[in-house]
């Protein structure tokens, strides 16, 4: 199946009041597992590559080209998204490589500077028919200060979306990046008010810290795109650790990366079902 435009996945889900899973790719096994899980669930999915991952690999292209190839051969719609990009050059590279969407993160800047920088990226991406996500009210867990308890204001969010012409907005509603426990306390009333205030889909970052019941409630309240990374990485690493403990003399990485890939695929299929309301 050809690579899917991100809006072709997000738009119908928002209209139906269901959620879409967006899972981060760190290495090729992640991309393979995520697409396998989506095929097993019979649901679309979004592969995400973050600026941090591009930095880890030394450049964006290797992971991106592998992810684009895997997405293009999938049996379900798959989009490829650049996550948390702060670099203009990286956004430009993602557009050139064929990403279907980018998340430009200027949330650490003062509001007016965030608007200017984001609008510049939106104009650039829209000329190439690339969908744009931005963030307002920095989600915790990233480098940089973010006062505990900060939330996205619905009126400010409406003004920001209009000024920047973004296609979706990541909002701060109580989740935090890189959580190892699933006990984040989301503000469901705020999610509903943001959904009512905005004409663009809402994105929940830091969803690894949200349990299944609250993920479903967040989607019901108005979230559409749900980003999950740490939860899958935790499962991947635990499976690798178990296999190495069982067979300490193993040398072939396929012997422990393969089972980790399988475990992530099963969890992706399950989570997609949760988000789709199955």
Q: 204 phi and psi, to 5 degrees?
A: -105, 110
CB atoms within 10 A of CB 143: 7
By C-alpha distance, which of 263, 7, 252 is closest to 129? Answer: 7
Catalytic-labelled residue, pool 83, 153, 167, 187: 83
- CB-hemisphere CA count at 13 Å for 59? 6
Detail the DSSP E strand segments found in the chain. Answer: 20-24, 45-50, 78-85, 101-104, 131-136, 168-171, 202-204, 223-228
Helix (H, G, I), strand (E, B) or coil at 49: strand
Residue 140 DSSP code: B
According to the annotation, is 133 in a ligand binding site? no
* CA angle, residues 139, 164, 201, in degrees to nearest 5: 60
According to the annotation, is 84 in a ligand binding site? yes
According to the annotation, is 126 in a ligand binding site? no
- To the nearest 10°, the Cα dihedral for 119, 125, 130, 133? -30
Tell me whether strands 45-50 and 168-171 are parallel, antiparallel or unpaired. unpaired
Annotation says 153 is catalytic: no
According to the annotation, is 231 in a ligand binding site? no
According to the annotation, is 57 in a ligand binding site? no
- Tokens read off for 164: 């920047």
List of residues 6+ apart from 253 with CB closer than 8 A: none
**Which residues are identified as catalytic?**
83
- Binding-site entries: 84, 105, 135, 177, 205
Task: List, as residue ranges, the binding site for Zn(2+).
Answer: 84, 105, 135, 177, 205
């Amino acid at each position: 199946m050809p690579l899917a435009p991100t809006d072709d996945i997000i738009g119908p889900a928002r209209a139906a009041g269901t959620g879409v899973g967006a899972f981060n790719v760190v290495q090729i096994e992640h991309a393979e597992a995520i697409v396998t899980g989506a095929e097993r669930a019979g649901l679309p999915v979004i592969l995400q590559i973050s600026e941090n991952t591009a930095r880890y690999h030394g450049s964006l292209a290797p992971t991106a080209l592998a992810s684009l190839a895997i997405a293009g051969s999938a049996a379900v719609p798959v989009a490829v998204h650049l996550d948390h990009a702060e670099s203009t050059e990286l956004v430009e590279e993602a557009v050139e490589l064929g990403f279907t969407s980018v998340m430009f993160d200027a949330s650490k800047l003062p509001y007016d500077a965030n608007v200017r920088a984001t609008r510049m990226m939106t104009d650039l991406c829209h000329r190439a028919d690339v969908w744009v996500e931005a963030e307002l009210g920095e989600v915790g867990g990233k480098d940089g200060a973010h006062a505990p308890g900060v939330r996205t204001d619905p009126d400010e969010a409406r003004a920001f979306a209009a000024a920047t012409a973004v296609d979706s907005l990541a909002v701060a509603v109580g989740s935090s990046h890189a959580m190892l426990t699933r006990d984040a306390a989301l503000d469901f009333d705020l999610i509903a008010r943001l959904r009512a205030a905005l004409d663009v889909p809402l994105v929940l970052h830091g969803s690894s810290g949200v349990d299944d019941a609250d993920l479903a409630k967040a989607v019901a309240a108005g979230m559409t795109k749900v980003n999950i990374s740490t939860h899958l990485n935790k499962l991947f690493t635990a499976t690798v650790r178990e296999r190495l403990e069982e067979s300490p003399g193993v040398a072939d990485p396929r012997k422990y990366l393969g089972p980790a890939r399988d475990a992530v695929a099963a969890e992706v299929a399950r989570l997609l079902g949760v988000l789709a309301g199955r």
